[in-house]
Amino acid sequence: MRNYIVFGRRSTAQLTFALGMALVVVFSLIPAVGILVISFTDIRSLPFLPVHWVGLENYRTFFSAAQLGYNTVALTNTFVFAFAVTLFQNSLALLIAVLLNQRLKGRNFARAVVFLPTILGVTVIGLIFTLIFNPAAGPAQQLWAAFGSSSAFFGDPNLAMALVIFVQVWSGIGVAVVIYLAGLQAIPQELYEVADIDGATSGQKLRNVTIPLLAPAVTANTLLCIIGSLQSYQLIYVLTGPINPATQVLSLAIFTQGFGGAQGGTVLSQGYAAAISMVQFVIVAIISLASLAYLRRRETAL
């Protein structure tokens, strides 16, 4: 890349660049690096309290007997949530995309409707489903009653996670569908025509044309979904609150430990919450890199 500037002096470019970067560095990059730094301290939510270096103390606490039970639950929940959301969201999105890619009357309307939750936002979605799964008088309860059963829904520890996963998939599927549709439409029509001339059956066309050419879209969707769901918590927060053990995920653990959503206030410091952030960061990094490597290999294998 040529490094000369066509606009005379270089200083204006440097100045505006520095100005823009300053904001990003101060409010986005420093906090990111700061998480690692303060995870070695006992910093608290009140200013003017002395801050001490505690070394690996917070990480030891994370794996200590007192916290391990809680953290194992949070970790397990995070994995269950991320795995289920990734699996269901992707497979259903692919089915819906293929369905809505056919020349059907009203398919544009259906596409628009599926994408709608992206715009509505977590709070509105959370309240809508609180209403639907209202244990006292919701339509879901009537459905359960039709089968001679009843449920506390989000209040039922055995069901809460499944429902949260359902709502997350419901609200997130639109983006995945649109990405798959873009992938399907990018496949040149000629390839199907050539396959027809060669006398390929529908199954062969699916196996040898559609699936290999859709592989990049599958990679993009799966990766987006894994990264997103491992770190997501806004919807869970709105649906079941910050301290429900049945739906406690790592991100919510950061929130509760750092900002006292936990019952009886928080005894541990925000340094400890930062340590949870780092644990989560490492987990997300390992899982997304491993999935990326796996998906890329699959792409070339197809």
Partner 1 sequence: MSTLPVAAVPTGSSGLQTPASEGIGGRPHRAWAWVSYALMGLVVVIYLYPLLFLVNTALKSNAEFLVDPTGLVKDPQFGNFVQAWQQGNFAAYVLNSVVYTLVAATVGTVMSLMIGFPVARGYVKHPKVWQGLFAAMLFLPNTLVTVFQLALRLNLYDTPLGYILIMASGVGVGPLLVTGYLNSIPREIDEAAAMDGAGYLRYMFTFLPRLMMPVLSTAFILQAIGVWNDIILATILFTSQEHWPVTLGLFNFKGTYTSEWTLLSAATMIVAAPLLLVYLFLQRYLVASVVGGAVKG
- Subset of 146-185 contacting partner 1 (CB under 8 A): 170, 175, 178-179, 182, 184-185
Which contacts (CB < 8 Å, 24+ apart) does range 10-13 have?
A: none
301 touching partner 1, by CB under 8 A: no
Q: What is the rounded CA–CA span in Å between residue 16 and residue 22?
A: 10
Tokens of 131: 């209403």
Identity of the residue, 47 or 148, whose beta carbon is nearer to partner 1 in the bound complex: 47
Q: What's the min distance (Å) between Cβ of 6 and partner 1?
A: 4
Instruction: List the beta bridge partners of residue 41.
Output: 53
How many residues bind partner 1, per CB under 8 A?
115
Q: What's the min distance (Å) between Cβ of 178 and partner 1?
A: 5
Identity of the residue, 13 or 56, whose beta carbon is nearer to partner 1 in the bound complex: 13
Contacts (CB under 8 A) with partner 1, residues 252-281 = 254-255, 258-259, 270, 273-274, 277-278, 280-281
Identity of the residue, 46 or 65, whose beta carbon is nearer to partner 1 in the bound complex: 46
Span near partner 1 by CB under 8 A; candidates 60-68, 76-84, 249-257, 292-300: 249-257
Q: What's the min distance (Å) between Cβ of 293 and partner 1?
A: 15
Q: Residue 208, exposed/middle/buried by CB under 10 A (0-12, 13-18, 19+)?
A: middle
Contact 54, 42 (CB under 8 A): yes
- Choice from 149, 158, 201, 300 touching partner 1 (CB under 8 A): 201
Identity of the residue, 19 or 65, whose beta carbon is nearer to partner 1 in the bound complex: 19
- Choice from 49, 206, 290, 302 touching partner 1 (CB under 8 A): 206
Q: Binding mask 220-239 vs partner 1 (x if CB under 8 A, - otherwise)?
A: x---x--x---x-xx--xx-
7 touching partner 1, by CB under 8 A: yes
212 touching partner 1, by CB under 8 A: no
Identity of the residue, 19 or 66, whose beta carbon is nearer to partner 1 in the bound complex: 19
Residue with tokens 């209403």: 131
Q: What's the min distance (Å) between Cβ of 264 and partner 1?
A: 19
104: left (phi over 0), alpha (psi -120 to 50) or beta: beta
Q: Residue 39, exposed/middle/buried by CB under 10 A (0-12, 13-18, 19+)?
A: buried
Contacts (CB under 8 A) with partner 1, residues 99-138 = 99-104, 106-107, 109-124, 126-132, 134, 136-138
Contacts (CB under 8 A) with partner 1, residues 19-58 = 19-21, 23-24, 26-32, 34-36, 38, 43, 45, 47
